[in-house]
């Protein structure tokens, strides 16, 4: 039986949660997010388990290792594997980080791209190539960073806008990343938000972070979302002006499913506050009719 709760509040699909989800998927969860690198090419029990969910529930693919701004060659083998994986499971939205994480080998961290005109052209060309291979527009996510790359010729939101417009791709908005960067680098998160190309928003992340003893914020996805991040999400909805699928990220210190569902339900609550129940219901009907998320931008 196909899932009929097409609401724009979702949760990351984690192996730790599968036993509970196999018992019952709470109606508050409208979709799941999955990293294709962790599942593509798997067979046996893992593939069977995943298919049992993708046949019944909407999924989004969020990449971890494409290194869109990296110096190494674009991993077209990974892109083709991702494309085939998405076709197999009927997934119609792919997003990736606007960062780099590999050269000759993977660095296992997301590093900032120099904010220069040359980097805009270079990264946009790689995004365009990725879109050609996948056969769809993709969303690129504003990343959390802990160093400011030298030689900046523009601000970070200007850089994000320039890349997105030049590549003619979509925006994956991460409000926790904005908050973390604003605290670490001392800028106004609302002003940053206002400069982004929010009209191209296809997807949103919200998550928790940790605070080090020296006050540095680290984007861990390992704790509850705090009030200032919820408030920034609310402000983002007001600026976007339409329902947009929003995923709760929780990658570490994963609590029992009912605790996570409370946060997913809060996403839905904020969507209803911002857009009204009728608009959210219309989004759900359109998502169901057109294959989830394909209606954006």
Contact yes or no for 219/180 (Cβ under 8 A): yes
Taking residues 54-78, report their average pLDDT.
92
The pLDDT of residue 238 is: 97
CA distance 117 to 251: 34
Q: What is the pLDDT of the chain when averaged over all its residues?
A: 90
Contact yes or no for 32/59 (Cβ under 8 A): yes
118-130 confidence digits (pLDDT tens):
999 999 999 999 9
Q: Band of the pLDDT at 42, cuts 50, 70, 90?
A: confident
C-beta neighbour count of 103 within 10 angstroms = 12
The pLDDT of residue 146 is: 85
- Of 80-94, 210-224, 254-268, where does mean pLDDT reach its minimum? 210-224
Structure tokens at 27: 């109606």
Residue 181 confidence (pLDDT) above 70 = yes
Catalogue all structural domains in the chain, each as residue range(s) with its CATH number.
9-290 (3.20.20.150)
């Amino acid at each position: 039986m196909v899932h009929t709760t097409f609401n724009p509040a979702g949760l990351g699909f984690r192996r730790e949660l599968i036993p509970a989800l196999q018992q019952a998927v709470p109606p508050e969860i409208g979709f799941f997010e999955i990293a294709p690198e962790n599942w593509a090419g798997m067979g046996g029990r893992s593939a069977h388990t995943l298919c049992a969910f993708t046949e019944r529930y909407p999924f989004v693919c969020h990449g971890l290792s494409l290194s869109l701004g990296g110096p190494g060659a674009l991993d077209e083998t990974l892109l083709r594997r991702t494309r085939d994986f998405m076709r197999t499971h009927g997934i119609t939205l792919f997003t990736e980080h606007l960062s780099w994480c590999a050269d000759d080998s993977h660095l296992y961290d997301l590093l900032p791209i120099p904010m220069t005109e040359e980097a805009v052209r270079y990264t946009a060309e790689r995004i365009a190539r990725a879109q050609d291979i996948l056969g769809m527009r993709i969303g690129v996510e504003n990343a959390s960073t802990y160093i400011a790359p030298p030689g900046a010729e523009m601000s970070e939101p200007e850089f994000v806008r320039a890349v997105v417009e030049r590549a003619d791709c979509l925006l994956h908005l991460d409000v926790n990343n904005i908050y973390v960067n604003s605290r670490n680098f001392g800028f106004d998160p609302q002003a940053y938000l206002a400069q982004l190309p929010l009209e191209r928003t296809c997807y949103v992340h919200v998550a928790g972070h940790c605070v080090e003893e020296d006050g540095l914020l680290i984007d861990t996805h390992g704790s509850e979302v705090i009030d200032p991040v919820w408030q920034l999400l609310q402000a983002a909805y007001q600026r976007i002006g339409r329902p947009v699928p929003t995923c709760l990220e929780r990658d570490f210190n994963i609590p029992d499913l009912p605790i996570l569902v409370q946060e997913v339900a809060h996403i839905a609550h904020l969507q209803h506050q911002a857009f009204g129940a009728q608009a959210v219901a219309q989004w759900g009907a359109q998502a169901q009719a057109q294959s989830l998320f394909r209606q954006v931008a």
